[in-house]
C-alpha cells in the first residue's frame, strides 16, 4: 500500500483554511532566494505546521499577511505528492487594505535585537543548526565577528617575541562561541612591535594559566 505523505499540524486555532483559498498580500515586499524556500520546507517537514497564517478577509478575497514563503513551499510539497490538510489561521480585523498594510509592516517589525551571543546562550541546550535559520534581524552570519558587541576592550601595547603563544583554530562558529563564552574572551587591541600600527579584532588573547584552569574546571563538571 502506498504511504500517504502529509504534514503534521503542531498548533491549534479556532479557524482552519484550505491554503488554496489564500492570496498573497505582500507583493514584492520581501526578496527571497531558493535557499530560503529550502529552509522553510525543511522546517515544515521536521517540526510540522507550528504557526498559523494571519489572514485579512476583505469580504471578497482572503489575503495572507504572512507565510508567503510557506505558501510556495506548500505548493511544492503538493507537487511532490504530499496531502495538505486544512491549516490553522487567525483572522486579523482590518477596515481596509491600507490598515492591513500598516499591520503587516508591524507584523514584520522587530522591536529588539538578537546577537550571535544571545542566540547561542538561548540555544545552549538544544541541537542548533544555523543553516536552517533566517533570524528576525536578518540572516545572521555566524562566520563574521560582530564589531558592535558590548564588552570591555583590553589594550595590549605589544606582542613581544619573548612571550609564548598558543594558537587555536576553530572551523565552525558554534565551537568558537562556546570558547568565547567559557573564557569570557573579548576583542583586544594589539601591536606587533613598538613601531607597528595598532590592530583590533584580529586575534583574541587570554592568560595561559587562566586557560588551563578553566579547561580543568570544565572537564571536572
Per-residue confidence in pLDDT tens, the chain, 221 aa = 667 899 999 999 999 999 999 999 998 888 888 988 999 999 999 999 999 999 999 999 999 999 999 999 999 999 999 999 999 999 999 999 999 999 999 998 878 887 777 888 888 888 877 777 776 554 455 555 544 444 444 444 454 555 566 677 667 667 777 777 777 666 655 555 554 455 444 355 666 677 777 777 776 66
Question: Are 8 and 88 in contact, with CB atoms under 8 Å apart?
Answer: no
Domains of the chain: which residue ranges?
5-107, 122-220
* CATH fold label, 5-107: 3.90.1530
Alpha helix positions (H), 26-131? 34-47, 68-79, 97-107, 116-122
Cα 57 from Cα 63, distance rounded (Å): 6
pLDDT computed for residue 7 by the predictor? 93
Contacts of 182 (CB under 8 A, 6+ apart): 214, 218
pLDDT computed for residue 190 by the predictor? 53
| pTM (two decimals) | 0.60
Cα 28 from Cα 25, distance rounded (Å): 9
Amino acid at each position: 500500500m502506498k504511504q500517504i505523505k502529509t504534514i503534521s499540524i503542531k498548533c491549534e486555532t479556532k479557524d482552519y483554511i484550505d491554503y488554496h483559498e489564500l492570496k498573497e498580500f505582500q507583493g514584492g515586499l520581501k526578496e527571497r532566494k531558493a535557499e530560503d524556500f529550502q529552509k522553510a520546507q525543511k522546517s515544515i517537514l521536521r517540526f510540522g505546521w507550528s504557526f498559523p497564517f494571519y489572514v485579512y478577509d476583505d469580504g471578497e478575497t482572503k489575503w495572507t499577511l504572512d507565510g508567503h514563503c510557506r505558501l510556495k513551499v506548500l505548493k511544492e510539497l503538493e507537487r511532490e505528492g504530499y496531502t495538505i490538510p486544512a491549516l490553522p489561521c487567525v483572522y486579523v480585523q482590518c477596515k481596509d487594505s491600507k490598515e492591513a498594510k500598516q499591520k503587516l509592516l508591524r507584523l514584520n517589525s522587530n522591536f529588539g535585537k538578537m546577537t550571535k551571543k544571545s542566540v547561542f546562550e538561548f540555544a545552549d541546550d538544544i541541537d542548533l543548526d544555523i543553516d536552517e535559520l533566517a533570524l528576525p534581524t536578518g540572516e545572521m552570519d555566524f562566520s563574521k565577528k560582530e564589531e558592535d558587541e558590548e564588552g570591555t576592550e583590553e589594550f595590549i601595547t605589544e606582542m613581544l617575541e619573548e612571550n609564548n603563544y598558543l594558537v587555536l583554530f576553530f572551523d565552525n562558529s558554534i565551537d568558537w562561541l562556546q570558547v568565547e563564552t567559557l573564557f569570557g574572551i573579548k576583542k583586544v587591541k594589539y601591536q606587533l612591535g613598538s613601531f607597528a600600527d595598532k590592530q583590533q579584532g584580529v586575534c583574541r588573547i587570554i592568560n595561559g594559566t587562566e586557560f588551563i584552569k578553566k579547561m580543568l574546571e570544565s572537564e571536572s563538571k
